Structure formats: structure tokens, C-alpha cells
């Protein structure tokens, strides 16, 4: 009987260690992704599909980067240049669209020159994204030395 109790304790200890390790990895990954920049919840869907992939959007220096919620990679799954990103009109998201975790959510049809996709985010995150994209400095038409 003591062997059985010891075995159960070992199994419970391993399960607790794995769960704590997973949560620690998630926290460290999110900190590594943000690196002091603005990070917001954002769902991504390819145009023509109905399934959303949950993740984070980060505003870089000249890019908008999207990271999936799960996973261990600290590299963005999608990155769009702020100069080539064209944002559509935000459409309020209904409760049946799968974005229940976002309060006051909107869906935005976007184009980046290579294709169309949708981003689902809070209205405040959309406002920040729109401001970020529109504040890109104009390209210079001539070379000035």
C-alpha cells in the first residue's frame, strides 16, 4: 500500500510540475513577444473561411505582426508592412461569430497586396491599429542628400 501512495504522489507531482511549467512558458513567451511594445488580443482569419485563430497583434517599427495564442515560437506567424496594409471598415461582431472573448469586438477586412484576410479585435485595438497604419511617414519621392 505505501508503494501505491508513493506512486500516486509522484504522478500528481509530475502533473503539477507540467502545468506550472506550461503556465510559466506562456507568461515568458508573452513577455518576449511584447518586448516593451503595444500588444493586443486579435483574432485572424483568411478571407473565405469562418474559423478564427486567436492570438496577439503587435505594432513594430514598420510592421504589424500577428502571433498565435498557443505555441512556443516567438516569431510572428504573419507580418504586414504598415505601408502596404489596407484596413477596411470595422463591422461589429455578433455573439455567434466565435469572438466571445473580445468585448466590443469588430471584424475588419484587410488587404496587404498579396491577399485578403480578416482581423477581429476590440474597437479600441482597431482604433490603435488604424492610427498606427495611418501615421506612417510618406515615402520620399526623391533622394535628398
pLDDT, position 14? 96
Is 113 inside a domain boundary?
A: yes
**Residues 98 and 126 grouped into a single domain:** yes
**Residues 74 and 114 grouped into a single domain:** yes
pLDDT, position 35? 80
Count: domains in the chain: 2
Task: Give the whole-angstrom CA distance, residue 67 versus residue 57.
Answer: 6
How far is Cα of residue 72 from the mean position of the Cα atoms in its chain? 13
Q: Identify whether the C-beta of residue 57 lies closer than 8 Å to the C-beta of residue 76.
A: no
Going by the DSSP 8-state scheme, the letter that residue 50 receives in this structure is -
* Spans in the chain with pLDDT lower than 50: 140-145
Is 83 inside a domain boundary?
A: yes
Q: Identify whether the C-beta of residue 66 lies closer than 8 Å to the C-beta of residue 78.
A: yes
Give the domain extent around 68.
36-134
Q: Identify whether the C-beta of residue 42 lies closer than 8 Å to the C-beta of residue 120.
A: yes
Is 119 inside a domain boundary?
A: yes
* Burial class of residue 132 in the structure, from the number of CB atoms within 10 Å of its CB (0-12 exposed, 13-18 middle, 19+ buried): middle
pLDDT, position 133? 86
**Residues 94 and 116 grouped into a single domain:** yes
C-alpha cell at 13: 507531482
Q: Identify whether the C-beta of residue 45 lies closer than 8 Å to the C-beta of residue 37.
A: no
Instruction: Give 88-106 pLDDT, tens digit per residue.
Output: 899 888 777 767 777 788 9
Amino acid at each position: 500500500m505505501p508503494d501505491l501512495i508513493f506512486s500516486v504522489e509522484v504522478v500528481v507531482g509530475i502533473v503539477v510540475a507540467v502545468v506550472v511549467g506550461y503556465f510559466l512558458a506562456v507568461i515568458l513567451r508573452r513577455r518576449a513577444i511584447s518586448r516593451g511594445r503595444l500588444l493586443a488580443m486579435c483574432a485572424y482569419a483568411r478571407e473565405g473561411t469562418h474559423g478564427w485563430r486567436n492570438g496577439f497583434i503587435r505594432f513594430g517599427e514598420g510592421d504589424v505582426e500577428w502571433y498565435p495564442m498557443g505555441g512556443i515560437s516567438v516569431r510572428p506567424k504573419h507580418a504586414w508592412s504598415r505601408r502596404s496594409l489596407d484596413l477596411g471598415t470595422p463591422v461589429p461582431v455578433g455573439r455567434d461569430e466565435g469572438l466571445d472573448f473580445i468585448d466590443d469586438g469588430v471584424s475588419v477586412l484587410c488587404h496587404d497586396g498579396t491577399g485578403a484576410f480578416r482581423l477581429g479585435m476590440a474597437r479600441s485595438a482597431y482604433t490603435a491599429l488604424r492610427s498606427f497604419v495611418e501615421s506612417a511617414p510618406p515615402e520620399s519621392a526623391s533622394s535628398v542628400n
